[in-house]
A and B are shown apart, each in its own frame.
Chain A
């Protein structure tokens, strides 16, 4: 299964946010989508999912344009993991995961035993079977995110799209969730994940797509694509990228932000002046 974006343009109403971009994702690949706030990551994701109209170009699944596909047709192929959220009603975890089966069951039907089995397998795959009978609104944020991944897996999709799956998660949960993402690629699922931190793209993706002003700045392996110049273009800050070894002797690339000395001087001067005012 291959998802291909060909000269895709999208946006809200008259405004174009994403301008004629092209790239493709293959089975077993994890693509990290990087870009500043407002660069159009979410718009792009929503357009692929069919939530936003395509302004130009096309979204192709195995070469077929999905423009006229129904929500159920798309849901049987593409799974979506939203940012962590809280629904208004305290559904059981198993029921939340079963919602992933919606596209596979008839309109007037409820999930059958077979669907329950698929949902339980999805929970098992993420090692969270113990959560099955718990209440979704009462478990921790990290657990909730894993449940949403399980729900997407219950959809039996061939492509998974995640919109900053680790936003609002603590440090430990970010790593736990992301290591599962890498495991998904092993199931021959293509993963497109927008991420906040370039470091996450280094560790967990095979390819990085850098979005800037609605265009692709670079598309390549994380090591090639993510450089300190490009991060400066993307986020407007100076970043040093260094390679370190973790305790398992693996090479890791980390980003170290730095502010120029001149800027620091300026802020120090401001603090001094404040103090003077306060004394006077």
Chain B
């Protein structure tokens, strides 16, 4: 992925999977490269395959094909306990 700078503006050309052809996107002024940096980060983010396999094997409810609800509830209970132990307020 190559970000182009033209007359003080940033653009990127990406393969548009829907239109099946390249497409140019405007990313803002070159003085504000935040969107361009976000785009680079989006292209570089990776999730390790082992973590994905472990999630599907152990944390997904086969009946609903979502995370087991008890684990989702646990995420709140642990969040609240962690906040309590660190002296925070639950209701923030």
A binds B: no
Interface residues of A (CB under 8 A from B): none
Interface residues of B (CB under 8 A from A): none
